Homo-oligomer: A and B are copies of this chain.
Amino acid sequence: MEIAEVLRKNGYKVTPQRLAVYEAINHNPTHPNAEAIYKILQPNYPSMSLATVYKTMEIFAKIGVVQVLQCAEDAHRYDYNTTPHAHIRCEKCNRVIDIDMDQEGLRQQAAEQSGFVVNGVSISFVGICPECREKS
């Protein structure tokens, strides 16, 4: 389904800014934060504001177009891959990559132990990536 269609279906208008933000993050494996998305857009959309990026990402997160990562040490990062998976961040270079991991079992375990209704899971690792390890 096209992003324009998804926006319309959810009652949001289709604007050049939203399409541009979507282009910047779709299949972007670097898990950018708002600032990074803003910088990607600067050359082609110099009038786009950081506030618009934040507002757009909030909408995208709400309608399930992106996933918000809590693993970053600093700011939120966004992932166009919305299937359940974990992340690992390199403590040296801060890159974030995806880890495939079944979360169903963990979810059940959490529900049983706590008595909570579990609505979300976030699994994140930190470590040193192969490239940074080589350098030192």
Contact = CB atoms under 8 A, between A and B. Distances in A.
Contact of A90 (B101, B116, B129): B116
Contacts of A63: none
Contacts of A42: none
B124 A128 contact: no
A107 B90 CA distance: 14
Given A106-B101, A109-B99, A127 B119 contact: yes
Nearest to A120: B126
A114 B129 contact: yes
Interface in A79-136: 86, 88, 90-91, 97, 99-101, 106-107, 109-111, 113-130, 133
B88 A116 contact: yes
Contacts of A49: none
A71 to B, nearest CB: 7
